[in-house]
Structure 1
């Protein structure tokens, strides 16, 4: 499939350029807020306020990426990553809204939409020339969707503790997914492996946060 290579040689149109500018600006804002959120106290009004800003900017990133992939240049790596980041972003946002109530009808609709998007996208990106980033993105999407489907079977009392882990995982993963996309655009060597490094760092960050949340929960139980 040679469309992307030919498209890369064509002059960039004004709408394409404007979409890239919007994408880059929104991505820069989202990543700056995301790093700030990681380094500061959680649960405060400021954390929630900046978190909304991260989600709004991340949504612009994903929508502009989807527009660019659909209208200007299709790249399998970024198509799979865009679907994954968008689902994680919306899921992390929703978990902070539902909290101990657990998943609601809107969450079921979101999961079904992710299943449909993944089923539609997978054969396209695989036929276009899959690599490790595509496989890892699709695998991560399948894993998150499987968890989100399984949580409907969980006792409701679990969500009073689980939502914080879910919220942290999904938004941290979305942040490092954006970093991976940045590396894919600016680093011209070691692809696609160089794009996997931010994802690995994201998993390490999630592990660190999970340990901290577990210790906080343990301290509350002792208190």
Structure 2
């Protein structure tokens, strides 16, 4: 009951965050609410995975979603200052968990679906990006933090939606469970285009004002 209630509330808060004006007090409060509820969902999912039934995709999502949430929150708080010691500690801990977890999942090759492979790929994409980020020139972080925050938070919302579909919808599996992930990529691309457009328009604003 806790898992279902927290999951439903987290998805509602998550979609409100996505489609409300960004940077406002309401956006930040809803984001914090989503973050806390999603952590409850992931904690209960992890307990279920460890003690009751191991489902590969859900096991990976139990690590991926809280890691992305933490990374998205950190990106917004650091705002271009780059990774700090705590980020390195969290990344190292995630690697330590992700490696045996991924091996456990991938060794079940005969029983895996496209959802399982995509979950593992998404996890390692984020981990390798965060590892590479330590080598980025400092000036890059001021340009990419909004994109990172957008990707990680949006991907977390749609990963939770994918998990819901996987639990509830029995028709068209595993493709019906992949649909939310595909939708999430479209939404992320839309937000990225908006961010890129705003970034290119910002330097032109003083010129327009002078004119």
Same fold (TM over 0.5): yes
Asked whether the 8 Å contact 1:132–1:192 carries over to 2, the reply is: yes
Counterpart pick for 1:132 among 108, 114, 119:
114
Q: Does 151-160 or 122-131 show the bigger shift?
A: 122-131
**1:158 and 2:106 matched:** no
Matches within 5 A, 1:69-88: 69-88=49-68
**1:212 and 2:179 matched:** no
Describe the SS at the equivalent of 2:8. helix
Describe the SS at the equivalent of 2:203. helix
Counterpart pick for 1:170 among 149, 152, 174:
152
Cα deviation for residue 123 of structure 1 reads 2.0
Residue ranges of structure 1 left out of the alignment (5+ in a row) = 1-20
TM-score normalised per structure 1: 0.88
Cα deviation for residue 62 of structure 1 reads 0.6
Cα deviation for residue 74 of structure 1 reads 1.4
TM-score normalised per structure 2: 0.93
> Deviation string for 1:118-175 (max 9, x for gaps)?
1111122223432211111111111111111111111212222211100000000000
Cα deviation for residue 180 of structure 1 reads 0.2
Asked whether the 8 Å contact 1:96–1:164 carries over to 2, the reply is: yes
Describe the SS at the equivalent of 2:53. coil
1:58 corresponds in structure 2 to: 38
Cα deviation for residue 47 of structure 1 reads 0.8
Coordinate RMSD, CA, aligned: 1.1
Matches within 5 A, 1:82-97: 82-97=62-77
Q: Does 24-33 or 119-128 show the bigger shift?
A: 119-128
Residue ranges of structure 2 left out of the alignment (5+ in a row) = 206-211
> Deviation string for 1:77-113 (max 9, x for gaps)?
2112222212111111111111121111111111112
Cα deviation for residue 72 of structure 1 reads 1.6
Counterpart pick for 2:126 among 144, 156, 171:
144
Cα deviation for residue 28 of structure 1 reads 0.8
1:203 and 1:113 map into 2 onto residues whose CA distance is: 27
1:111 and 1:176 map into 2 onto residues whose CA distance is: 22
